[in-house]
Amino acid sequence: MCKYCKGGDLIESTTTHVVDFKNHLIIVRNVPCMECDQCGEKYFTDAVAERLEEIVNEAKKFMQEVSIIDYNKAA
């Protein structure tokens, strides 16, 4: 059950995670998540959240104005 709306069921899905870091956008596509079928709230497993943090930290090193990364290719 969704912790946000308290009414929806969670289904497997993918999402796009966006980080705005010092006027640089880091976009990670195809991130696996669980999504509420009622309100759309998204949840990451601990493993996915840790990997996302690693991917974002690596992208910060390049400091490009926009970085677009496919989770499946970076994971």
Looking at residue 7, its pLDDT comes to: 87
Residue by residue, DSSP assigns 8-70 as: PPEEEEEEEEEEEETTEEEEEEEEEEEEETTT--EE--HHHHHHHHHHHHHHHHH--SEEEEE
Looking at residue 75, its pLDDT comes to: 59
**Domain harbouring 17, CATH code:** 3.10.20
Looking at residue 57, its pLDDT comes to: 93
Tell me if 1 is assigned to some domain: no
What are the beta bridge partners of residue 26?
19, 67
Domain that holds residue 63: 10-74
Give, for all 75 residues of the chain, the pLDDT tens digit.
Answer: 899 999 889 999 999 999 998 888 999 999 999 999 999 999 999 999 999 999 999 999 887 889 999 999 985
What pTM was computed for the model? 0.84
Looking at residue 70, its pLDDT comes to: 93
Q: Report the domain count for the chain.
A: 1
Q: Is the dihedral of CA 46, 32, 43, 15 positive or negative?
A: positive
